[in-house]
Amino acid sequence: MSDEATPGMVKITIDGREMQVPAGDLLIAAAEKAGTYIPRFCWHSRMKPVGLCRMCLVEVEGPRGTMLTTSCTMQVNDGMVVHTESDVVKKAQEGVLEFLLINHPLDCPVCDKGGECPLQDQTVSFGPGESRFVEEKRHFEKPIPISDLVLLDRERCILCARCTRFSEEISGDPLIEFVERGSGTQVLTFPDEPFASYFSGNTVQICPVGALTATAYRFRARPWDLQAAESTCPHCSVGCRISVQSSQNQVLRFQGVDVDSTNQGWLCDKGRFGFEYLNSPDRLSTPKMAGDDGLQEASWIDALDAAASGLMSIIDEHGPGAVAGIGGARGTNEEAYAFGKFLRSVVGTGHLDAQIGDGLEPRLLAAPADRGLIGDLEKASSILVWGPDLKEELPVLYLRVRRAATELGAKLVVAHPRRTGLDDVATHTLRYRPGAGQDLLRRLAAGEGDAGAALAALKEGPTVVITGLAGLTEGPDLAEAVAAFGRDLPDATVLPVARRSNVFGALDMGVSPALLPGRASAVDDGARATLSGHWGADVPDGSGRDTAGIIEGLEAGAIRAVVLLGADPAVDFPDPARASAALAGAELIVAIDMFESVSTSMATVVFPALGFTETEGTVTNLEGRVQKVSRLLPGPGGARPSWEILEDVATRMGGSIGATSAGVIATEIEKVAPAYAGATWDALNTAFGRDGIVVPTADATQPIEYVPVDRPSAPVQRDLVLHLARVLYDGGTTVQRGLSLAKLAAEPAVYITPQDAHRLGVADGSAVRLSGGNGSAELTARFDDSLTPGAVYLPFNLGISVGSGLEVELEALA
């Protein structure tokens, strides 16, 4: 090795071996990178070091001799000489372990952590081999539920503080803490305050012993009984990397995988525990057809024949434009591509949409100019979040923004109609009434009033702008205007966000009236001609209808048949009652889904589809990162992949989409969508592709680059206006079909400011009637002083709807 260290590196010697390591690294991390493992319990690479457990003691040579010190709190410096295996170090490690085991119960055979327990492993590797203590161990009541998802066994706790530090540093929910002193020290929650964090499951995964266990996994399996495969979380568009673990053909748990580009090892509890729906007995396993007594089980042959003949009949009588498709945002890219190809090349319609009336301009989501990455938050000096409450809709993106604001020094500006999860770490918060967002944006751009300080903070680049729908009563124009404003900030990147897990992939695959596969414009004659050449079939001219247009078409009789792929517009459309009434008037509904739903209850034919962990493919997250989804299990009964069902229907209609396997579809996507050429399955299965491959948005392979446009609109002046937004735990299928999450959905309520409540004669907790443009509901009123006067907040996805119009009325009930 040369005498001079590489720039940015320092030379150190560990156990007689000289090496170069990054300057500023902690000794424990530098040693691990160089191939020397130093045992530890409290240290975690994603949290601040505390040196509590003392297991990582090493000897470091200094001018006054060797010093025994914790390697997790010492930074490396040039010329450092370290001993990790000396007699002194070994004696210290044996002593630490002996003390830890004084009160730790020897219940490994019945402990969930057994077989993957760091305390178990390090006792064998570094422990004394036997204990000198014969005294009675301390005992606590066990286990005690500290939340609906997490159980605590205090006898096993070694006081490493990983759980308490995570809750305070990472999630911002300091609901679990040390109590008592000395030998009585223990981890507990506060009186009458459960560990009600959206991220509580992470403490179970990082606990180095079995002190914290998950109710969903407790006593279900041993690690050596589990089959595991890396995949991508199916619950939102962040694209968190996970390890899917199963036994006896049942998924038993999801674990977070530390991928720097997305989730850094963390998961929200919906992502972690939201697997139980896969094992639900309510899964569809055979086709069903409408009969006199509702849906009745049918054979595959009869169901396929009915779907194909029904579609052909409508096409023959009314033309292909009388058929539309909704869905495709909850499966894989391959399934979405097959869906779009079926509708455009076999049916011949351009009416298709993966967004269910609650998204943004599809070109803004698929191919925005100056598109950012999640990783841009690591180097941002300022961040603007003007969109959904990230903690409720994109929880791990919330963690990344929170980290940037609390640990990396970024100035955070949050604009929203009410309090969000990021308000406590925001440098500036801006409030506005729903319908008046454009006015606030104008004041922010001009630096007027209280928005002046926020603008000054945002001018400290580089800047990341996260924009999306703050609420469902606000149209997509506001989010696009925010993106246009953000592009003018110094060194800015823009990250438009939407919630559904693979909505970005579905748009890239052309499940949009405005887009063809590969982000090409649907009104581009050249792009359509090229696609027709690939498919060997004509592609419909021009742009078709989106979901709102399809609903209008059903109401007017212009749309007669709808194909649903994993979509429930009767629940998810911003005006569910309107969507439900429109679907009820359809002549034909063909649904492909995992469960019966409100929409499938009106279907003519329902096909049982395989779901997550049962199909292989890819997905694309909100930054355009393509990641692999693995197949680990068979599906229930006769359920089949969506692309296979579509191919069989197409064949009976006299066509074909060439879907002989998911791999064949993936190969076709590479040819049809040039931007996806590098994101092959082979590339994604390599070490390089494990973190995903970002599909470029501004190069020769990108057909369009959408520049957002500010379309000003006048503020809406009403006495009361509605803020309609989603919450994490909802009344949706994946939550309600899981035992762990179903009970976490809150009771619906309407939120109002104390001032408006006093004016209207409404007391906190009293019964009220909320009336909107398409319905009314009797609800409990709750006070929320974070709302602006005149604003009323109603959670959208808890089963109560009054329509999606801004204007509402509220009256107290006797």
- How far is it, in rounded angstroms, from Cα 471 to Cα 389? 9
The CATH number of whichever domain residue 514 belongs to comes to 3.40.50.740
Assigned token pair, 474:
């606000």
Structure tokens at 473: 């009563």
Full residue range of the structural domain in which residue 513 is found: 302-359+503-617+629-663
Count of CA atoms in the C-beta half-sphere (13 A) of 702: 16
State the residue for tokens 């609903």: 551
Beta strand extents in 79-204 (DSSP E only): 80-83, 144-145, 150-152, 176-179, 186-189
435 occurs within a structural domain: yes
Predicted confidence (pLDDT) at residue 192 exceeds the cutoff of 90? no
Position 106 in a domain: no
Residue where a domain terminates, one of 18, 53, 85: 85
Say if 599 falls within a structural domain: yes
pLDDT at residue 183, rounded to an integer: 81
Alpha-carbon span 664 to 371, nearest angstrom: 30
Q: Roughly how many angstroms between the first and final C-alpha of the chain, as a whole number?
A: 84
β 212-214/150-152 pair status: antiparallel
Q: Are residues 464 and 392 in the same domain?
A: yes
Instruction: Please give the full DSSP string across 7-36, using - where no structure is assigned.
Output: TTEEEEEETTEEEEEETT-BHHHHHHHTT-
Q: Which helix (H) or strand (E) holds 581?
A: helix 576-584
Provide mean pLDDT across the span 623-632: 96
Distances (CA, A) of 785 to 122, 213, 469, 716, 793: 51, 37, 22, 21, 11
Residue 162 makes CB contacts below 8 A (sequence gap 6+) with 41, 42, 44, 47, 203, 206, 207, 208
Q: Are residues 549 and 612 in the same domain?
A: yes
Kindly state whether residues 529 and 654 are assigned to the same domain.
yes
Return the pLDDT at 688. 86
Residues 52, 20, single domain; the answer is: yes
**Interval 395-451: pLDDT, tens:** 999 999 999 999 999 999 999 999 999 999 999 999 999 999 999 999 999 999 989
> Is residue 380's pLDDT more than 60?
yes
Together in a domain, 771 and 804: yes
Question: 90 lies in a domain?
Answer: no
DSSP β-ladder status, 617-620 and 625-629: antiparallel
Amino acid at 757: A
> 270 in a domain, yes or no?
no
CA triple 517-521-526, angle to 5 deg = 90
Please spell the DSSP secondary structure of 73-115, one letter per residue: S-B--TTEEEESSSHHHHHHHHHHHHHHTTTS---GGG-TTTT
pLDDT category, 599, cuts 50, 70, 90? very high
CA-to-CA distance for 302 and 312, rounded, in angstroms?
15
Q: How far apart are CA 394 and CA 483, in angstroms?
A: 18
From the list 149, 143, 232, the residue with the least C-alpha distance to 188 is 143
Cα→Cα distances 111→604, 727, 779, Å:
50, 34, 45
Q: What is the pLDDT of residues 55-105, one digit of tens each?
A: 999 999 988 889 999 999 999 999 999 999 999 999 999 999 999 999 999
- Return the pLDDT at 130: 83
Residues 327 and 312 in one domain: yes
What is the pTM assigned to this prediction? Answer: 0.96
Banded model confidence at residue 638, pLDDT cuts 50, 70, 90: very high
Q: What is the pLDDT of residues 4-33, one digit of tens each?
A: 668 889 999 999 999 999 999 999 999 999
Label residues 620-659 b or e (16+ Cβ within 10 Å = b).
bbbbbbbbbbbbbbebbeebbbbbbbbbbbbebbebbbbb
Q: Are 47 and 166 in contact (CB under 8 A)?
A: yes
CA distance 260 to 373: 12
Where residue 730 falls (left for φ over 0; alpha for ψ -120 to 50; beta otherwise) is beta
The pLDDT value recorded for residue 733 is 87
Residue 210 lies in a domain: no
Within this chain, do residues 453 and 510 fall inside the same structural domain, yes or no?
no
Residue 129 has pLDDT above 90, yes or no: no
Same domain, 372 and 339: no
Q: Which residue has the higher pLDDT, 791 or 134?
A: 791
Strands (E), 522-668: 561-565, 588-593, 605-608, 617-620, 625-629
pLDDT tens digits, 679-722: 999 999 988 888 999 998 766 667 888 999 998 887 788 899 99
Picking from 8, 57, 15, the residue whose alpha carbon sits closest to that of residue 34 is 15
> SS3 of 278, please?
helix
Domain assignment present for 110: no
Per-residue pLDDT at 745: 93
Q: What is the CATH number of the domain that holds 40?
A: 3.10.20.740
Q: Please provide the average confidence, as pLDDT, over all residues in the chain.
A: 94
pLDDT tens for 530-555 read: 999 999 999 998 779 999 999 999 99
pLDDT level of residue 2 (50, 70, 90 thresholds): low
224-243 per-position pLDDT tens digit: 999 999 999 999 999 999 99
Q: How far, in Å, are 579, 725, 812, 814 from residue 777 at the CA level?
A: 18, 16, 12, 15
Amino acid at 371: R
Picking from 92, 185, 188, 183, the residue whose alpha carbon sits closest to that of residue 135 is 183
- pLDDT class for 3, splitting at 50, 70, 90? low
Q: Which CATH number fits the domain that encloses residue 767?
A: 2.40.40.20
Whether 216 is in a domain gets the answer no
Question: Hey, which residues does 21 pair with through a beta bridge?
Answer: 10
> What's the pLDDT score for residue 473?
94
718 versus 266: which is more confidently predicted?
266
Q: Which residues, other chains included, contact 526 with Cβ-Cβ below 8 Å and sequence gap of 6+?
A: none
Same domain, residue pair 37 and 65: yes
Bridge partners (DSSP) of residue 775 are 772
Residue 59 CB neighbours (<10 A):
21
User: Given strand 428-431, what is the order of strands in its sheet?
Assistant: 428-431, 411-416, 382-386, 463-467, 492-496
User: How far is Cα 757 from Cα 776, in angstroms, rounded to an integer?
Assistant: 18
Per the listing, tokens 């007017």 go with: 556
Distances (CA, A) of 286 to 301, 589, 592: 11, 17, 11
- 355 plus 397 within the same structural domain: no
Using omega within 30 degrees of 0 as the cis cutoff, is the peptide bond preceding 513 cis?
A: no
**What mean pLDDT do residues 662-686 have?**
92
Nearest CA to 270 out of 657, 730, 623 is that of: 730
Tell me which of 313 and 132 has the higher pLDDT: 313
Domain-ending residue, one of 85, 109, 135: 85
Q: What is the pLDDT of residue 644?
A: 98
Q: Give DSSP secondary structure letters for 341-386.
A: HIIIIII----EESS-SSS--HHHHHSBTTB--GGGGGT-SEEEEE
For residues 512 and 642, membership in a common domain is answered with yes
CATH number at residue 418: 3.40.228.10
pLDDT average, residue stretch 292-320: 96
Mean pLDDT of 255-263: 96
Helix then strand count (H, E) for the chain reads 25, 36
CA atoms within 13 A on the CB side of 803: 14
Domain boundary among 439, 467, 496: 496
Q: Please give the single-letter amino acid code of residue 282.
A: D
At residue 664 the predicted structure's pLDDT band, cuts being 50, 70 and 90, is: very high
Query: From CA 640, how far away is CA 630, in angstroms rounded?
Result: 16
Give the orientation angle of helix 333-341 with respect to helix 662-672, to 10 degrees: 70
Residue 1 has pLDDT above 50, yes or no: no
More confident of the two residues 717 and 326: 326
Give the DSSP H or E segment for 684: helix 681-684
Mean pLDDT of 327-344: 97
Residues 506 and 476 sit within 8 Å (Cβ to Cβ): no
Of 171-175, 622-626, 675-679, give the lowest mean pLDDT range: 675-679
Asked if 613 and 757 sit in the same domain, the reply is no
Structural domains counted in the chain: 4
